């Protein structure tokens, strides 16, 4: 099977480190929110997540030579590292809407990183 000209293995290799980082951040966020600890820390985790997603976009373009469509597929795949948290705190209707919004945010952030990787030349 090929998605946008790449195999699922290519997408896995391009996203595995970022997926793990986002999974850990979302786990820490869930634990912090459920226990009531780390309230200030938990508030800033989404910003760290956005940086990781942008870095993933940079990395997929620079290291793996992905194009825009392929980078957006990686972003959609990375969003699943945090989608599992939605049913914990939200009703089905809210979770459904947040699934779409979360996916769009991940795709936008990874595309920003990918576009930046194409525009910036590091010598």
Q: How far apart are CA 10 and CA 66, in angstroms?
A: 10
Ranges of each domain in the chain: 8-119
Structure tokens at 57: 């976009």
**Mean pLDDT, all residues of the chain:** 92
Q: What does the block give as tokens for 102?
A: 């979360």
Residues in the chain: 123
At 123, the pLDDT band (50, 70, 90 cuts) reads low
Question: Dihedral, CA atoms, 4, 105, 90, 97, nearest 10 degrees?
Answer: -70
The DSSP annotation for 63-74 comes to TT---HHHHHHH
**Res 38: pLDDT:** 72
pLDDT at residue 89 above 80?
yes
From CA 64, how far away is CA 14, in angstroms rounded?
7
Q: What is the pLDDT of residues 37-86, one digit of tens each?
A: 777 878 888 899 999 999 999 999 999 999 999 999 999 999 999 999 99
pTM for the full predicted model: 0.91
86 by DSSP, 3-state: which? helix
Structure tokens at 21: 């980082």
């Amino acid at each position: 099977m090929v998605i946008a000209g790449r195999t699922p293995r290519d997408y896995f290799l391009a996203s595995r480190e970022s997926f793990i980082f986002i999974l850990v951040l979302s786990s820490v966020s869930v634990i912090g929110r459920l226990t009531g600890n780390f309230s200030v820390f938990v508030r800033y985790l989404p910003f760290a997540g956005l940086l990781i997603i942008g870095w993933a976009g940079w990395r997929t373009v620079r290291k793996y030579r992905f194009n825009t469509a392929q980078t957006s597929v990686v972003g959609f795949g990375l969003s699943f590292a945090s989608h599992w948290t939605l049913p914990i705190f939200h009703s089905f209707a809210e979770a459904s809407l947040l699934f779409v919004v979360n996916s769009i945010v991940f795709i936008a952030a990874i595309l920003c990183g990918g576009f930046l990787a194409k525009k910036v030349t590091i010598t």
